[in-house]
Amino acid sequence: MRKATRLFELLTLLRGRRTAITAEALAEALEVSVRTIYRDVAALQLSGVPVDGEAGVGYWLRPGFHLPPLMFDADELQALLVGGQMVRAFTDPELGEAAVRARAKIMAILTDDLKARAEAQPYIVPVRERDNELRATHGQLRKACEEKRKLQIEYEDENAKQSRRVIWPLGMVGWGDVWTLLGWCELREDYRNFRFDRIGQLMDAGSHFADHPTRNLHHYLKGLSE
């Protein structure tokens, strides 16, 4: 991590708290040494950022310091925080970690009133251990969609009939507790939706698919509205 990025992350962590945080906790969060935290705090102080510290207590920002404002109203803030929880609960681990980092950045730029609202927000979306396998599948499918990689899957339909298919993964649709993959199926030569929990073996088919005017997410959605 570049020093400038690390200093911003450090400032974000400090700004996102209402109480002191120890150098050890900061070092663990940023995956650096405690000595590096000492140097980085000194760099922030030299640049005019009002960071105070006390041995055995930790570091904190003096009241009144604000990063350049990015204002949310209470409902917008609620939507962002609940959305982040849903990302952690229902998508893949990498996106979940990104949601945690995004929350820290949001907390860092809030006024004290909005920060208090955020800490008191009533929504809880639990991350259930039983969904770990589906979250791993989600990560594989998301990357295949982003990278336009063909996939070979073994699939069991609603009648328990097994099939093996090569598909072009185009998009993922969340239906509450159920997620489906929209793909172009080479076996059926048409769009098909595949429930994550009915996908058995999932493998890279060893090739990519090119952009196609009638085999893409926009074309599929347009067909639904006609």
Q: Do the beta carbons of residue 197 and residue 134 sit within 8 Å?
A: yes
Q: Do the beta carbons of residue 186 and residue 205 sit within 8 Å?
A: no
Can you tell me the mean pLDDT for 206-213?
A: 95
Can you tell me the mean pLDDT for 54-67?
A: 83
Report how far residue 62's alpha carbon sits from residue 54's, in angstroms, rounded to the nearest whole number: 13
225 or 128: whose pLDDT is higher?
128
Phi, psi values for residue 151, rounded to 5°? -125, 145
Q: For 109-154, what is each residue's pLDDT tens digit?
A: 787 888 888 989 899 999 999 989 999 999 999 999 999 999 999 9
3-class secondary structure, 189: coil
156: confidence class by pLDDT, cuts 50, 70, 90: very high
Tell the residue number behind the tokens 């935290």, with chain if given.
Answer: 37
Where b means 16+ CB within 10 Å and e means fewer, 98-122 reads: ebeeebbbbbbbbeeebbebbeeee
Report how far residue 37's alpha carbon sits from residue 220's, in angstroms, rounded to the nearest whole number: 51
Q: For 16-60, what is each residue's pLDDT tens digit?
A: 787 899 999 999 999 999 999 999 999 988 888 889 999 889 999
In this predicted structure, what is the pLDDT of residue 68?
A: 56
